Amino acid sequence: MGQEHRIQTFSEFWAFYVGEHRHPTNRFLHYIGTSVGLSCLVVAPILQIWWLLAVAPVIGYGHAWFGHFAIEGNKPASFAYPGWSFMGDIKMLSYALTGRMNKEVERLYGSTHPADDAPCLVEF
């Protein structure tokens, strides 16, 4: 009874994930981190700059974690659900690049902004 609910499917996780990324500035930091982190993974073997493989997660998660702790005020989903969190980052970036992310936040939470009054530095 006292146990925390454990998410069982990616669909269920996605709704939770979007809720943890309601602030546009936090999402923007994720887009930067995910894009640069993935770029490092692609470029490293092509240019044989192997240290980029070590830098990729630092860049990707560094931006994201800053967004959670400093902007959103919550704990990153990657702590409890690392695989689904990575999939969520990719899906969120793809939704942003195709102009669907704000609509997805609104669909799941009724608004494109969080309930609090944290400053919005970027609208993406």
Per-residue pLDDT of the chain (124 residues; tens, 9 = 90+): 445 678 999 999 999 999 999 999 999 999 999 999 999 999 999 999 999 999 999 999 999 999 999 999 999 999 999 999 999 999 999 999 999 999 999 999 887 666 554 444 444 4
Burial, 5: exposed, middle or buried (Cβ in 10 Å; 0-12, 13-18, 19+)? exposed
Q: What is the pTM of this model?
A: 0.84
pLDDT score of 123 = 47
pLDDT score of 5 = 77
pLDDT score of 112 = 66
Backbone angles phi, psi at 100, to 5 degrees: -105, -10
Domain ranges of the chain: 21-109
